Amino acid sequence: MNLSKLLNKISGQLSKGNPDFRNPNGVYMKTMNFRRFDPAYRAQGKKGLERGGKLEGEIWNAFASDHHLLSETATAIRANVDVGLPIEPTSDTDKDFEAEEGRILTRVHLARERNQKLVQQKKLAVIKSTGKLACEVCLFEFEAAYGERGAGFIEVHHLKPIHTLLPGQKTTLGDLALLCSNCHRMVHARRPWFTIEQLREQLQN
């Protein structure tokens, strides 16, 4: 019942409130979809509901063996819903970013990445330190490649795992990384998102 209420609150924040959205019976059916992946449940000779979607398998694989991650993610989602965070995508770009934690925390992540004051402060700090704006993964420099047109251009990525993004938490410059457009897209290309170190290793390989 409580999960049904939470999901309906999310639906309302999406301006798509529907009295039948994830009602208690619907929540029960969804949990039975997940049961089909549970070896302990299947060991009892039970199957769960077999006609679920592909995403359920991805979510199960992401969280089934990490209950701490699941708890942190659920806590962050509840906290951001409770403060009434607007979670409708603000541009087509938002729709390209995905995460098993869902739209709410993805929206928080993107909003922090696009905070223009933080972006400018990060760029200025890096220029002061290194004299240039280079991708932290592939070392690409827009100005070196495109001349004056590329001067000052690079994308800023938020390093904190999105399941830790609670409302009111502050973002420091150390929480940000500079990435070229290609590397930034590759970080977010599929679940689970790559860390900077993982993407760098992938590129080197």
pLDDT tens readout for residues 126-141: 999 999 999 999 999 9
For residue 152 the two structure tokens come to: 């000052």
For residue 200 the two structure tokens come to: 């760098």
- Per-residue pLDDT of 123-181, as tens digits, reads 999 999 999 999 999 999 999 999 999 999 999 998 887 677 777 777 789 989 999 99
Would you call the peptide bond into 19 cis, given omega within 30 degrees of 0 as the criterion? Answer: no
- Per-residue pLDDT of 72-104, as tens digits, reads 777 777 777 776 655 554 554 444 554 444 566
pTM recorded for the entire structure: 0.59
Burial 100-133 (b: 16+ CB within 10 A, else e): bbbbbbbbbbbbbbbeeebbeebbeebeeeeeeb
CA distance 171 to 48: 42
Position 203 scores a pLDDT of 92
Three-state DSSP state, 95: helix
Residue for token pair 């009111």: 168
